[in-house]
Amino acid sequence: MIGYIKGELADIKENYIILETGNIGYEINLPTSAIMELPPRKSTIKIYTYLYVREDALSLYGFLTKDDLEMFKLLITVNGIGPKGALGILSKITADEIRFAILAGDTKALAKAPGVGQKTASKIILELKDKIQLEDAFMDKLQNQTDKKIKDNLYDKREEAVQALIALGYSSSDAYKIISQIDITEEMNTEDILKLCLKRI
């Protein structure tokens, strides 16, 4: 099993990406919501993956967070929901929303996803309600909110550093390429990031 792949974002398509690592380009299916959150091409990213094996095919499904991956694994245990169906659900509804919809027995919330009618939504609730605990759902939601704030903060810092590099005369593509090689942490400010970028150059 491939737990995750870290590499260069070589290409972005409508519902999948090509992630290059070790001179191999992996085609990974992603929820459309995740596609919208991706950094520019050539950035280094980490994708949590699930390898789906059939007699006639091997397919990789990827997610930006472990939480989304775990929800995907839960959804495909529901009778009649395959990987593409689960991906479609996670493209429209977050893992947190799915958990609370299941706990509340809210079929309308689940039926927002493409290809999910009231019957399928009821089946999801019936088969997964015993696998989700209310306490865990709240803890996961709090963790996801914290992770999102951190991610947004890091994104803002990265964009400020990119703009600073452009102001120094570097092209937009060069700036993004340089910044993708830097491991940005919460403790860093824009000046710290810029110094590391200039050292790389």
Residue 54: per-residue pLDDT = 84
**The whole model's pTM is what?**
0.68
Is the distance from CB of 196 to CB of 182 less than 8 angstroms? yes
Q: Are residues 95 and 153 in the same domain?
A: no
User: Which domain-ending residue is among 132, 161, 184?
Assistant: 132
Q: Are residues 156 and 73 in the same domain?
A: no
Is the distance from CB of 5 to CB of 47 less than 8 angstroms? yes
Range list of β-strands (E), 22-76? 24-29, 44-53, 58-63
Residue 42: per-residue pLDDT = 87
pLDDT category at 146 given cuts 50, 70, 90 is low
Most confident of 60-74, 96-110, 183-197: 60-74
Q: Are residues 9 and 50 in the same domain?
A: yes
Largest CA distance in the chain: 59
Q: Are residues 46 and 13 in the same domain?
A: yes
Rg (CA), the chain: 19
Calculate the average pLDDT of the chain.
85
Is the distance from CB of 59 to CB of 72 less than 8 angstroms? no
Is the distance from CB of 114 to CB of 92 less than 8 angstroms? yes
Number of domains the chain is built from: 2
Tell me which DSSP letter residue 42 carries: T
Q: Are residues 169 and 119 in the same domain?
A: no
Whole-angstrom distance, CA of residue 174 vs CA of residue 61: 30
CATH of the domain at 26: 2.40.50.140
Q: Are residues 107 and 145 in the same domain?
A: no
Q: Are residues 105 and 163 in the same domain?
A: no
The alpha carbon torsion through 152, 155, 137, 84 (nearest 10 deg) reads: 130
Q: Are residues 64 and 40 in the same domain?
A: yes
Q: Please list the residues that pair with 45 across neighbouring strands.
A: 7
Q: Are residues 126 and 29 in the same domain?
A: yes
Residue 151: per-residue pLDDT = 65
Q: Are residues 96 and 185 in the same domain?
A: no
Is the distance from CB of 42 to CB of 62 less than 8 angstroms? no
Q: Are residues 33 and 122 in the same domain?
A: yes
Question: How large a percentage of the chain has pLDDT more than 90?
Answer: 34
Residue 50: per-residue pLDDT = 96
Q: Is the pLDDT of residue 135 over 80?
A: no
Tell me which DSSP letter residue 181 carries: T
For the chain, the first-to-last Cα distance in angstroms comes to 37
pLDDT category at 99 given cuts 50, 70, 90 is confident
User: Which domain-ending residue is among 82, 109, 132?
Assistant: 132
Structural domain range at position 144: 136-200
Tens digit of each residue's pLDDT (9 = 90 or more) over 17-44 = 999 999 999 999 999 989 988 888 888 8
User: Which domain-ending residue is among 117, 132, 147?
Assistant: 132
Work out the burial of residue 54: count CB atoms within 10 Å of its CB; fewer than 13 is exposed, 13-18 middle, 19 or more buried. Answer: exposed
Q: Are residues 64 and 52 in the same domain?
A: yes
Pair of tokens at residue 7: 């590499």
**Tokens 């409508």 sit on residue:** 14
